[in-house]
Amino acid sequence: MSFQLSDEQRAIRDMVHEFGENEIRPVAREHDEEKAYPHDLVEQAAEYDLVAPGIAEDYGGAGMDLLSSVVITEELWRADPGIGSAISSRGFGTTMIGKFGDDWMKSEWLPKVAAGEIATCSCISEPAHGSNVAGIETSAEKKGDEWVLNGNKTWITNGTVASLAVVMAKTDPGAGHRGITAFLVPTDLDGFEPTKIDNKLGIRASDLAEIVLDDVRIPEENVIGEVDQGFYQLMNFFADGRTSVAAQAVGVSQAAVDEATKYAGEREQGGQPISEYQAIRHKIAEMATNTEAARSLTYRAAGHVENGNEQEAAKFASMAKLFASERSVEIADEGIQVHGGAGFVTDHPAERFYRDARITKIYEGTSEIQKNIISDQLL
């Protein structure tokens, strides 16, 4: 089955690629080394509808489908995974608001995200609970016409730059996944205390934080969807998120192929470019083949998610994330090998791609979790 992009999607790809080459790549190493969030580039990206492109046109967004968003993510990560992550994650949590939020939530917040004016974050993971969402301990207690939130969240993308958070909390502590609720939480409220995590292996230009919620008070109207339905609401977006991570992995894989091919044509040994040696040619051939296979599976996953078959979407999204992420680390590793000693230092981006690719095997569900999901669909 062939997954061809439409003329519009190819135009989007070309536009993002040009943006990446002209604006992102020249400053990528600087942002990685300084661990600097790319505020200016986010603003520029918003002008091209690259920030949260799935937000509906009624709220100032581009209203793109998942495959178009996947193409954007792939090309941003091809330019640089750290900056690409900062841009593509800018609207984390907005899908929850868009699908289950009240009209006032959408009208007040989504246009600001689409315009690049603010970032959002999604607060799910906790120090003791990553893959086990049902085990979260952050609590939300109803007091009068307010909810009071207490707990710790960690590994929160955009945690220190976000103006708005979607927080998952237990409203019925004894009910497991049946007692979780999603809340809309402005980050300037008293008791919302983020601390930056900056000792990361990779994607250093992207913001990451631990967040303490200490008696954070929000109005009862800030419940997103229905009380105790947050876990079920969240289930709607797992396949989307995993397909997006697969796109990230495809992007960094393609970047590694690009750099290895370029270097092989420039580096000479024995009086000829190393691209003339069969060992190098075979490495690059395998890198390119695995990248294309991951791309095809990722596009197929996007198609299944869009078509709305939940079982097929879950299976293919997990397959795409598993295959693309595992291969991306291998491809980036081979990219370093093509560079030889030059790939082990920061003079070339090969080492950065290796560091950046590694995260794709972990977040949005580890590779081990993806295998569980796939086998559950097959057995």
Residues assigned a catalytic role: 364
Tokens of 335: 């990219």
SS (H, E, C) the chain: CCCCCCHHHHHHHHHHHHHHHHHHHHHHHHHHHHCCCCHHHHHHHHHCCCCCCCCCHHHCCCCCCHHHHHHHHHHHHHHCHHHHHHHHCCECCHHHHHHHCCHHHHHHHHHHHHCCCCEEEEECCECCECCCHHHCCCEEEEECCEEEEEEEEEEEECCCCEEEEEEEEECCHHHHHHHEEEEEEECCCCCEEEEECCCCCCCCCCCEEEEEEEEEEEEHHHEECCCCCHHHHHHCCHHHHHHHHHHHHHHHHHHHHHHHHHHHHHCEECCEEHHHCHHHHHHHHHHHHHHHHHHHHHHHHHHHHHHCCHHHHHHHHHHHHHHHHHHHHHHHHHHHHHHHHHHHCCCCCHHHHHHHHHHHHCCCCCHHHHHHHHHHHHC
